[in-house]
Structure 1
């Protein structure tokens, strides 16, 4: 049974809860025709303040998720997973609640809008009222909510978030935020009643209150320990992220709102608070964690660049799709692209733990179209080389290259770096062996005897053709190059060569229901497929599903084991917990402890070995047949 006022009144409204701001907007709009409407002015201030509060939490969240800046400062070294993100999805409920509380305050104190814009005495008074009333009141209530009944029915929700985040500060029950609204409101109303109120004071107090709440929940230490060495009394006046994180990991201590002084008075100060803060601050300049595995990804386009945790955490936690609300962010994304083009280096984007090994995703700051610009080749290879050398210096065991980072025309599938640095300790892996295995598993389990293969002479195309001909499957290899076809043909055993057929036109596949697409095909070219054909694919970007009478497979991918920890963002269009096969190939390489580089041409003899290794470690193939509407 849920406790009274534990759930939010608009919980079932979903995103439609934002319609509750409608009356505020309507009143402001109506004021254009009623210029003497004082109430509308108050509504406008409420709306502006709500927007600024939301922005503060979003900016702090973005900062917290900029792992390339904060990774060495993390307090709880664990990723934020999908479960926590879903729990905190409606973190901003309290902003709406306090907007409603502000409108009620106006009805009780209608003259509050007549306060001046600025009053210096009000700033002094609100600090005094905060220290005298808000801090001890919050301390008492917070300690009360850690009692058995209140904690179980109310406060446990807040503590269910394993990793404190700025959004965690807003993740609490309806009753708790009603009381928190009172904690915020007492100093504001007190100043008003005493005649010291001002518009600037209200804005400043509320926004600083939110800023400090985010600071405490950000999970990375930003306050230098030198501050407390120089000014010892400051450690009693302002808490730190380390200080507050101890409340989440060792409950029963550190109850204060912002001032540890009240924990000292109440004898609830965690004795490790200052020691841990000093240690976290000193270690912030060192690489405290070295990943076993790094996946070197790249940005696909301007819109997908927004699909990173430090922009919109909720957006990155679902498979990428173009959404209307990201359109206003496109100019910022375009500006970021220009900056990255001029000066940049690979940066850490996400991390997760698998079998207690740390796995990280680094991103080469280049957009997809740049990989096809001839003059950009050297610059891109320099970025990839920089990432490989950095991984080698750190002691990373395996670095896996994403789709375009291992392009044959760019660096020969990674061979460029191996030849240039023959003594690399880090293993460079393109992961295409597992990509081939995933595609071949999809094809062979349907007992086909003939396939049509585009991109037939590519790295993957060659491996797929040689593997299938070894299984006595007829492969129609589409290529305009007789020389390349003959080269692949000679690699096949003599008795299997009859299964490799050279074709130069799409018409040759008019009776073939299994297409393996390794080169982008147009809707016109798809017309040559017979009714009921299925399109397997390993082409980036994926082909457009044009035929309603055919089915389309996703890009080769694998689902990570369920015991993965800290994974909270989707890999491009992949579902939660699913990664591209080349990413999974690097993971398997790392888990198996293989010491060879996987670059250049795919070793067909290792396809089954890699496939079995992937299944052994709990990775599962993802195969979905999509039919167009």
Structure 2
């Protein structure tokens, strides 16, 4: 049985909960449109305060997830996983609650609408009431919520988040936030009743309250330890992220709201608070834990750039798709793109742990279309090279290149960097060997003939050579006889006749297995017979135009179940699924291989890499591959 007041009254409303703001918005619109002056200012103020409170939490969350700025200042190094994100999805329930209570207060006391803009005495009264009443009330209530029954049925929800985040500050039960409403309401109500209330006082206190709670839950130490060394008394007046994080690991200590003074008075002050704070703050200029593996990604387009965790954490935790709510942010993202183009460095996006080994994703600050601008080639390669050298200096073991970062025309699949820097300790990997393995294992064993576009590309060559060894007839679409013959000569003498050059799509009108490595139009798809299955390794994927045919997804693999700290989806992939080239780099690192995987794919290693991936718990996403594997 659910404990009383442990769930929210609107818990089952989903997104419709925001309709609770409707009466306030309607009141403002009505007054604005149909009355001479904007009456009932309190409705507008409540809506503005709610919007600003949400913005404060979002900005703190964005900052905390900007690992390129905060990686060395993080208190808990583990990432935020999907479970925590889902658990905290409705973190803003408390803003709705306090908006409703504020509306009731304004209806009961109409005089609140006539508060002056400024009253300096109100700030003094507010501060005194907060320190003498709100702080001790919160401290006492917090300790009570840690007692057996209340903790089990109420407060354990807040502590279920393993990594404190700004959104964790709002993640609590209905009863806890009712108590918090009392804590935040005492100074405001008291100041107003004493005749010292003002609009600026309400805005300042509410927003400062949220700001400091987000600070404490940010998991990023931003308070320099030198301040406390020079002014020791300050450590009792303001808490730090380190101070509050200790409460989440050693729950019998550090109960205060904002002022550690009350923990000192209540003898619940963690004795390690200042030492740990000083260590984290002083180590911020040093490299933290060095990742074993880095995946060097890139942005696909301007809209998908908003899928990174430091923009909207909840949005990045689901597969990417263009949403209407992103459109207003498009101009801002476009301007950021121009700034990044003019001045930029490789930055960190996310990280996760696989069997105790830290993995990270970095991103080259270039957008997809920029890779196809001839004058941008040198600049892009420069950024990739800088990322590789930075990883080498840090002690990273493997760096894997995402799709366009290893483009053959751009840098020869990574050979440019390996040849230029022969003494690299970090292994450069394009991961395409596993990509080829995923595609090949998706093809049924009884297939005798395939049609291959993009046949002379890096992946096309490997697929053709592998299939001809299996005695599968490969119709290779290419107009270059020279390139075709070069690939054909690489095949064993008794298998070369299985490679057939074709120059038109009509040649495949009787072939039901198409492997697409080059974009094909709906008209070109029309040459495929009914029942054809389109396997593909083309980016972006081809349009599913034919209803009488089936379309495979891009080569991908599901990470093992023991992955920790993964809380963002890789572009359009499902949760826990990464592109095969990304997985290929992971396998390279887990196996401890010491060679670079650049340039042409070694066909002899395709089965080896495939078996290694399965051994480490990675699983193919395609249902047909899973059926064969099982």
TM-score over 0.5 for the alignment?
A: yes
Q: How does 1:222-621 map to 2 (within 5 A)?
A: 222-445=222-445, 447-621=446-620
Shift of 1:38: 7.9
1:62 aligns with: 62
Deviations 1:164-204 (A, max 9, x none): 00000000001111111111111111011000000000000
**CA distance in 1 between partners of 2:159 and 2:39 (Å):** 39
**CA distance in 1 between partners of 2:36 and 2:328 (Å):** 34
Secondary structure in 1 matching 2:476: strand
Please, what is the CA RMSD of the aligned residues? 1.0
Which has the higher mean CA deviation after the structures are superposed, 25-34 or 417-426?
Answer: 25-34
Secondary structure in 2 matching 1:215: helix
Contact 1:238 1:260 in 2 (8 A): yes
Shift of 1:37: 8.1
Q: Does 1:72 align with 2:72?
A: yes
Shift of 1:624: 5.3
**CA distance in 1 between partners of 2:447 and 2:261 (Å):** 74
**CA distance in 2 between partners of 1:164 and 1:25 (Å):** 33
2:47 aligns with: 47
Deviations 1:524-554 (A, max 9, x none): 1111111111111111111111111111111
Shift of 1:345: 1.1
2:628 aligns with: none
Secondary structure in 2 matching 1:598: coil
**CA distance in 1 between partners of 2:327 and 2:622 (Å):** 31
2:5 aligns with: 5
The answer for unaligned runs of 5 or more in structure 2 is 625-630
Shift of 1:107: 2.4
**CA distance in 2 between partners of 1:237 and 1:423 (Å):** 53
Shift of 1:33: 4.8
Secondary structure in 1 matching 2:564: coil
Contact 1:553 1:624 in 2 (8 A): no
Contact 1:221 1:241 in 2 (8 A): yes
Deviations 1:293-335 (A, max 9, x none): 0000000000000000000000000000000111111111101
Shift of 1:288: 1.6
Deviations 1:194-250 (A, max 9, x none): 000000000000000000000000001000000101111100000000000000001
Shift of 1:86: 0.2
**CA distance in 2 between partners of 1:525 and 1:137 (Å):** 72
Contact 2:32 2:38 in 1 (8 A): no
2:128 aligns with: 128
Secondary structure in 2 matching 1:364: strand
The answer for unaligned runs of 5 or more in structure 1 is none
Secondary structure in 2 matching 1:31: helix
**CA distance in 2 between partners of 1:518 and 1:32 (Å):** 58
Contact 1:348 1:361 in 2 (8 A): yes
Shift of 1:35: 3.7
Contact 2:28 2:38 in 1 (8 A): no
Shift of 1:105: 1.0
Paired residues, what number?
A: 624
TM-score normalised by length of structure 1? 0.98
Contact 1:243 1:254 in 2 (8 A): yes
Q: How does 1:132-211 map to 2 (within 5 A)?
A: 132-211=132-211
Shift of 1:444: 3.6
Task: Decide whether aligned partners of structure 1 residues 624 and 119 sit closer, same or farther in structure 2, where only a CA change above 3 A counts.
Answer: farther
**CA distance in 1 between partners of 2:132 and 2:469 (Å):** 81
**CA distance in 2 between partners of 1:39 and 1:448 (Å):** 75
Secondary structure in 1 matching 2:366: coil
**Which aligned segments of 4 or more residues in structure 1 are displaced greater than 2 angstroms?**
32-40
Deviations 1:443-473 (A, max 9, x none): 144x211111000000000000000000011
**CA distance in 2 between partners of 1:490 and 1:444 (Å):** 26
Secondary structure in 2 matching 1:433: helix
Contact 1:43 1:103 in 2 (8 A): yes
**CA distance in 1 between partners of 2:263 and 2:617 (Å):** 47
Contact 1:38 1:113 in 2 (8 A): no
